[in-house]
């Protein structure tokens, strides 16, 4: 089975060991007639399966449209100046993922990965403002065919301590392609070029690879 097929499996591969252990314990508890334990491990199994679900998504194919890189709630939209990677003004959209959201991250547009930078850090609550700069994170800089650049950053949270990135520098990504996962609740910040048309608002619920959050100009 190729990496592409594995990544497209309905349950993200990172969840297989957790699901296998939980389901095994559920089965053992059932076979030995421990109803309370069966119920408990069964509930844990269902939680793990829903957390690591990996649905197919289909968003806009318009090259100008920028898709959400994560499922969750928009908790911030602001014009800022990114000194670390873009060295320019950008519109930052922050998306908070709770434990009930899909946690597979996707590429917001088609383009080439120009840089990936992992930074160690703290583990503040992901919806706190200081999490953007102080938490452990993985930054992916993507260059669109128009020459414009988008930066999106996977950010660890209070409980989420494991960031996985599927891509490497030089990779050419398709819009909506799976590019990583953050385990157990976290945040993704995406920086759009200043002047981009913003298509979302605060507290709006978005879906990775499906919701259009902005448009290149």
Question: Most distant CA pair in the chain: distance in Å?
Answer: 63
Backbone angles phi, psi at 147, to 5 degrees: 95, -15
Question: Which of 68, 107, 186, 196 does the annotation list as catalytic?
Answer: 186
- In three-state secondary structure terms, 25 is helix
Cβ-based neighbour number of residue 174 at 10 Å: 12
Distance separating alpha carbons of residues 102 and 10, to the nearest angstrom: 11
Distance separating alpha carbons of residues 153 and 90, to the nearest angstrom: 14
| pTM (predicted TM-score) | 0.90
Question: What pLDDT is recorded for position 89?
Answer: 96
Angle at Cα 213 formed by Cα 151 and Cα 192, nearest 5°? 30
With a CB cutoff of 8 Å and minimum separation 6, the contacts of 130 are 124
DSSP 153: E
Would you call 186 a catalytic residue per the annotation? yes
Mean pLDDT by 10 residues, the chain (217 residues): 71 92 96 95 94 93 96 96 93 93 95 95 78 88 95 84 90 95 86 95 97 96
Structure-derived torsion over alpha carbons of residues 120, 78, 55, 182, reported in degrees to the nearest 10: 10
- In three-state secondary structure terms, 209 is coil
Question: What pLDDT is recorded for position 204?
Answer: 97
DSSP tally for the chain: helices H, then strands E: 4, 14
Distance separating alpha carbons of residues 92 and 87, to the nearest angstrom: 13
With a CB cutoff of 8 Å and minimum separation 6, the contacts of 94 are 74, 75, 76, 77, 132, 187, 188, 189
Q: Which residues pair with 79 in a beta bridge?
A: 91
Question: What pLDDT is recorded for position 139?
Answer: 96
**Comparing C-alpha atoms, which of 164, 160, 159, 198 is closest to residue 178?**
164
Question: What pLDDT is recorded for position 113?
Answer: 97
CB 97 within 8 A of CB 182: yes
Distance separating alpha carbons of residues 187 and 162, to the nearest angstrom: 12
């Amino acid at each position: 089975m190729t990496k592409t097929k594995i990544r497209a499996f309905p349950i993200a591969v990172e969840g297989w060991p957790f699901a296998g252990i939980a389901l095994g314990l559920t089965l053992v508890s059932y076979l030995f007639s421990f109803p309370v334990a069966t119920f408990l491990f069964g509930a844990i199994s269902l939680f793990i399966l829903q957390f690591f679900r990996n649905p197919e998504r289909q968003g806009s194919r318009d090259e100008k449209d920028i898709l959400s890189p994560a499922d969750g709630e928009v908790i911030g939209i602001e014009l800022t100046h990114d000194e670390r990677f873009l060295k320019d003004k950008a519109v930052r959209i922050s998306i908070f993922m709770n434990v009930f959201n899909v946690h597979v991250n996707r590429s917001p547009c088609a383009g080439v990965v120009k840089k990936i930078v992992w930074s160690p850090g703290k583990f503040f609550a992901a919806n706190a403002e200081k999490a953007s700069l102080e938490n452990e994170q993985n930054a992916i800089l993507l260059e669109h065919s128009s020459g414009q650049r988008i930066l999106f950053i996977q950010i660890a949270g209070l409980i989420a301590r494991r960031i996985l990135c599927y891509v490497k520098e030089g990779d050419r990504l398709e819009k909506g392609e799976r590019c990583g996962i953050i385990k157990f609740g976290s945040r993704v910040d995406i920086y759009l070029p200043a002047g981009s048309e913003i298509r979302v608002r605060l507290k709006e619920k978005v879906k990775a690879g499906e919701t259009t959050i902005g448009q290149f100009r």
